[in-house]
Structure 1
Amino acid sequence: MHSAPLRIALLGAESTGKSTLAAALAAHYQTVWVPEYLREFVETRQRTPQAHEQILIAHTQIARENIAAAQAHRFLFCDTTPLMTALYSQYYFGEVEPALSQLALTHRYDFTIVAEPSNPWVADGLQRESDSVRQEIHRLLLQALDAAAIPYLLVSGDTGQRVQQVSAYLSTQDTE
């Protein structure tokens, strides 16, 4: 019987290397990762989402996690979570839809990794604003994790260093 993989949340503000890290970790552990649906949403619609679309984005992200879990081996690396969607909703729209807020509180991950915004900021079309926004989102993220009592590992350095930090962290946890 195939046991359910441990879900690893990869969180961080824009342009912190989450997607690169997710791909590198999936390769390292010979498993799969779930890309951030928001990126696809923005690319296909050629616009940023509106407030009422945030819940759709979060549900689609989770649906894709559930599909990928069937192919994952031991770990499933998830590039973002409903918590980040809720955080951005609060930041950009001044509110979080109750259903999204509830989803962010109840959809849990086995481990949470936060990418530190110490790498160079890179503009990326419609999705990214500035390094100052990135730093503020990072601050708000750490606040939200602390408020929800979600333990996390903060990773920094280049991708190789980050993979080593996550690997060391996961090896010290009870992941069997």
Structure 2
Amino acid sequence: MPGQVIALLGAESTGKTTLARELARVLVARSLDAVMVPEALRLFCDQQGRTPLQHEQAMIAAEQTRQIELARQAHRIVLADTTALMTAVYSEHIFHDPSLYAQALVDHAQVQSTLLMSLDLAWTADGLQRDGAHVREPVDGLIRSALQGAGQGYAVVAGHGTARVDHALSVIEHLLDEPARQQRSTGAPRWRWFCDNCDDGECEQHWLAPKR
């Protein structure tokens, strides 16, 4: 079966890449089949030596989705360093172009868990990909608005160093434990309601007037 995708979203300089790498390392150390999918935008900037133009945004978003899907078919756990949704957000923020949201949200719906990075880390420069600390709050707001508008849940990850990793791991562990929780729930005895008429709570006799 295809693997489970954990997406890491967040404004620039919020530790997405560092956290994704560390989560993959920890999960592999636990003998789990985990892999990290790098950010397509970062690869584009490294290869081209520039940031993408407006007409190149859709291609980057599609490539991000393609790489995630390839990893999902080959591994049990996929740590995605962003999804197409981040490209859509920056396309709106930089180019005032919201056209990428529709497909990006369809793609993001394949994600099992979304980790949204808190803004509690200090901003640091990182070559072509960083615009400045002033863009973080607007971008964070656009991410939250897109997810909430689509009815897609997310968990905000905060903290520094190992605390941030532990916080993210707690969310992932809850996701991975879901099948076991369902099995425990299925095997647990069901509560039943007993009354003077019978032990079936749905029985229509409960709604009949008592005989005189």
TM-score (norm 1): 0.90
Q: Contact (CA 8 Å) 1:118, 1:156: kept in 2 or not? A: yes
Displacement, 1:118? Answer: 1.0
Tell me what 1:22 maps to.
20
Q: Does residue 171 of structure 2 align to residue 172 of structure 1?
A: no
Percent identity of paired positions between Structure 1 and Structure 2: 39
Alignment of 1:7-156 (within 5 A): 7-30=5-28, 31-72=34-75, 74-97=76-99, 100-107=100-107, 108=109, 109-156=111-158
**Aligned partners of 1:158 and 1:59: how far apart in 2?**
32
SS at match of 1:157: coil
In 2, distance between residues paired with 1:145 and 1:43? 29
Secondary structure of the structure 2 residue equivalent to 1:118: coil
How far apart are the structure 1 equivalents of 2:56 and 2:142? 21
RCO greater where, 1 or 2, for CA within 8 Å and sep 6 or more?
1
Measured against aligned partners, the alpha-carbon deviations of 1:48-75 in whole angstroms (never above 9, x if no partner) come to 1111111110111111112222442x31
Structure 2 counterpart of 1:134, one-letter code? R
Structure 2: 5+ residue stretches without partners = 29-33, 180-212
Unaligned runs of 5+ in 1: none
| RMSD, matched Cα | 1.5
State TM-score, norm by structure 2: 0.76
Instruction: Check conservation: 2:2, 2:74, Cα contact below 8 A.
Output: no
Structure 1 counterpart of 2:203: none
Q: CA deviation at 1:96?
A: 2.8
